[in-house]
Amino acid sequence: MRVGVIIPSFNRTVAAARSCAAAAEEAGIHGVFAYDHLWPPGAPGRPAIAPFPLLGMLAATTSAIVLGTLVARIGLVPDEVLLDEFRTLEGLSGGRLIAGIGTGDRRSAAESIAYGLDPGSAQARRRAILAVGSALTEEDIPVWIGAGAATTNAIARAIGATVNVFGVRAARVAELGRDGAICWGGALARGADRAAAQLRSLVGAGATWAIVAWPGSVAPIVAAARGAGIPLGW
């Protein structure tokens, strides 16, 4: 299993994100990932930096670490624009991209509506994620699809994408992982022993990646990975 970190992007400047990515790469953490929100969930008065320009900057300031979206939301831009954003980032990063995409849900719909965007029906968003995901996999760009309804998960399996789950227990990871590749995202447990045990449980459940929210320092992530016996570096 590989270990990644969600870079801090709910800020007015990129300073924290740049520092996080630099520390992660120096420590041998395998990837850095960016949210795609118009504001932090539940906090419309706070800023959120868009993922593609942020990751583009990190593509230029890093050399080995994987870069990804967790996850880019269908419908915020036209499908062809989203595809071109991924293609551009793939080129800038020299093939270090993981294209995480998702349909969004009721909780994220308010962001779209506030900006005059029609979230569309769940069925239409699934058709779009099938088209975008298929195009990316045909270009050999790794695709993760945010887990949702069984129909969305089935699309991921049909195109050979990895299912991404967020904040679930290892038992759920193992359940969904029986049908194909699965990765996990969420908060790192507090305390070195608990964090190491958390990562070990995800290894045992068959997760290919564990992406943790930035705890403010790279040290807890490194300690947890080492405690779980996960090699760092590339």
Average pLDDT, the chain: 96
Q: What is the pLDDT of residues 2-56, one digit of tens each?
A: 999 999 999 999 999 999 999 999 999 999 999 999 999 889 989 999 999 999 9
- Give pLDDT, residue 174: 98
Local structure of residue 96 (DSSP, 8 states)? -
**Is the pTM above the cut of 0.85?**
yes
Are the CB atoms for 19 and 61 separated by under 8 Å?
A: no
Write out the two tokens for 106: 């009721």
Q: What is the pLDDT of residues 94-147, one digit of tens each?
A: 999 999 999 998 888 999 999 999 999 999 999 999 999 999 999 999 999 999
Question: Domains of the chain by range and CATH?
Answer: 2-227 (3.20.20.30)
Instruction: Give every CB contact of residue 133 below 8 A, 6+ residues apart in sequence.
Output: 101, 143, 145, 155, 156, 159, 161
Q: What is the pLDDT of residues 162-175, one digit of tens each?
A: 999 999 999 999 99
